């Protein structure tokens, strides 16, 4: 596109109503505000494959300049993602993957490494010779759940003391994890819970507290969001014993989109950094994250002020135009 023509970025988001996705959207809009003439349209599939397929079709129909997709479940959504790519729309896949190589770029942290890091942290934290583990899965058709599980298994391999004795499907959701664990807990003899995200870890914490069993069991999550209700706070408050950072990459995705649209050469795979967060380092990490968060919030406030000034200026120009009899 040349000159002042508006750039439209479509984002087909698998789900939108949780802290992590909200942080992702904030990160995207903040980055977007640095560019003139770029618009972001987010369509939230609310955990529903059919809805997401519909959204992707709509974005193809609208011929957006670039499409970002976080596929709810890889299997059902992949053919439609391929359709978008084959229609010539530059395509960024983020967070959850599809089952296809047809994309321009992928951006996200390595979920296999996250699962492995969780296992390694368990290996160094437990001394007893039997560690019984409950794994609380994210949505089983979504790639981060599959990869976190595989990495976890790989990390435990060869250590007979560690055994996954039970599995629960929390589908990434606090409510689902809370309900399933609530019914299963009394029959479970466990030492460690590996929850595929912090929200499901929080559900586990609450159930164990209710049963007065919280002290017997360690809980690990994934995400490590800053801010109120996020994983850093949960580790600080002992809701989680550890979490593994899973950056949203929202700002990076927008930057990548703009680079692609400007015709700059980009790598196909962009791996975001992850790290283990636990009682030994959470204080430092939280201080840093809080600082960044407050700077980001101030950037957003300033952008809002600029936008208000801009629209005031525009309406004043119209009034000026009218009174000067133009
Ligand atoms: C948010 C979320 C995160 C998780 C990611 C996996 O919707 O469930 O908690 O890390 O999605 O795609």
Q: DSSP for 286-315?
A: HHHHHHHHHHHHHHHHHHHHHHHHHHHHHH
CA of 112 to the centre of ligand 1 (A): 14
Probe target for ligand 1 pocket from 118, 144, 244, with the most ligand atoms within 8 Å of CB:
144
Give pLDDT, residue 2. 55
C-beta separation of 184 from 125 below 8 A: no
The Cα 246–Cα 243 span in angstroms is 9
The Cα 141–Cα 133 span in angstroms is 22
pTM of the predicted structure, to 2 decimals:
0.93
Give the CA radius of gyration of the chain. 22
CA of 324 to the centre of ligand 1 (A): 56
Is the CA virtual torsion 111, 83, 72, 251 positive or negative? positive
Residue 143: CB within 6 Å of ligand 1?
no
Identify the CA nearest to 222 among candidates 207, 234, 209: 234
Residue 18: CB within 6 Å of ligand 1?
yes
Listing from the earlier edge strand, what are the strands of the sheet with 91-94? Answer: 38-44, 7-13, 66-70, 91-94, 105-109, 269-272
Give pLDDT, residue 320. 82
> Which H or E run includes 61?
helix 49-61
Give pLDDT, residue 316. 87
What atom in ligand 1 is closest to the CA of residue 199?
9
The Cα 125–Cα 83 span in angstroms is 47
Give every residue of the chain whose pLDDT is below 50, as ranges.
none
CA of 45 to the centre of ligand 1 (A): 14
Residue 197: CB within 6 Å of ligand 1?
yes
CA of 83 to the centre of ligand 1 (A): 25
Residue 222: CB within 6 Å of ligand 1?
yes
Burial class (CB in 10 A: 0-12, 13-18, 19+), 204: buried
CA of 325 to the centre of ligand 1 (A): 57
Give pLDDT, residue 107. 98
The Cα 148–Cα 111 span in angstroms is 5
Q: Where are the beta strands (DSSP E) in the chain?
A: 7-13, 38-44, 66-70, 91-94, 105-109, 131-137, 162-169, 192-195, 218-223, 242-245, 269-272, 276-278
Identify the CA nearest to 219 among candidates 193, 237, 238: 193
Give pLDDT, residue 322. 81
- pLDDT tens, 78-117? 999 999 999 999 999 999 999 999 999 999 999 999 999 9
CA of 316 to the centre of ligand 1 (A): 45
**Residue 303 is encoded by which pair of tokens?**
């952008």
């Amino acid at each position: 596109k040349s000159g002042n023509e508006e750039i439209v970025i479509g984002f087909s988001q698998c789900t939108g109503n949780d802290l992590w996705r909200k942080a992702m959207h904030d990160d995207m809009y903040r980055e977007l505000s640095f560019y003139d003439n770029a618009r972001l349209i987010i369509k939230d599939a609310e955990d529903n494959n059919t809805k997401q397929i519909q959204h992707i079709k709509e974005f193809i129909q609208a011929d957006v300049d670039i499409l970002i997709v976080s596929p709810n479940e890889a299997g059902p959504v992949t053919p439609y993602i391929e359709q978008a790519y084959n229609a010539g729309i530059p395509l960024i896949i983020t967070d959850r993957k599809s089952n296809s190589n047809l994309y321009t770029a992928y951006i996200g942290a390595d979920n296999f490494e996250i699962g492995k890091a969780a296992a390694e942290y368990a290996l160094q934290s437990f001394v007893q010779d039997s560690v019984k583990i409950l794994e609380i899965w994210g949505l089983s058709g979504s790639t981060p759940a599959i990869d976190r599980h595989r990495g976890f298994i790989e990390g435990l391999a060869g250590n007979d003391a560690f055994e996954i004795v039970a599995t629960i499907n929390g589908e990434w959701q606090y409510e689902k994890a809370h309900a399933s664990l609530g019914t299963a807990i009394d029959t479970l003899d466990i030492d460690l819970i590996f929850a595929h995200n912090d929200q499901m870890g929080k559900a586990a914490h609450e159930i164990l507290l209710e049963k007065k069993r919280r002290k017997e069991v360690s809980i690990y999550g994934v995400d490590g969001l800053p801010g109120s209700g996020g994983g850093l706070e949960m580790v600080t408050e002992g809701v989680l014993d550890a979490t593994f950072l899973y950056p949203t990459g929202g700002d990076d995705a927008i930057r990548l989109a703009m680079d692609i649209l400007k015709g700059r050469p980009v790598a196909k795979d962009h791996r975001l950094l992850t790290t283990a967060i636990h009682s030994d380092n959470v204080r430092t990490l939280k201080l840093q994250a809080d600082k960044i968060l407050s700077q980001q919030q101030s950037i957003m406030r300033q952008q809002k002020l600029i936008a208000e000034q801009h629209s005031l200026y525009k309406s004043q120009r119209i009034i000026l135009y009218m009174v000067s009899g133009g």
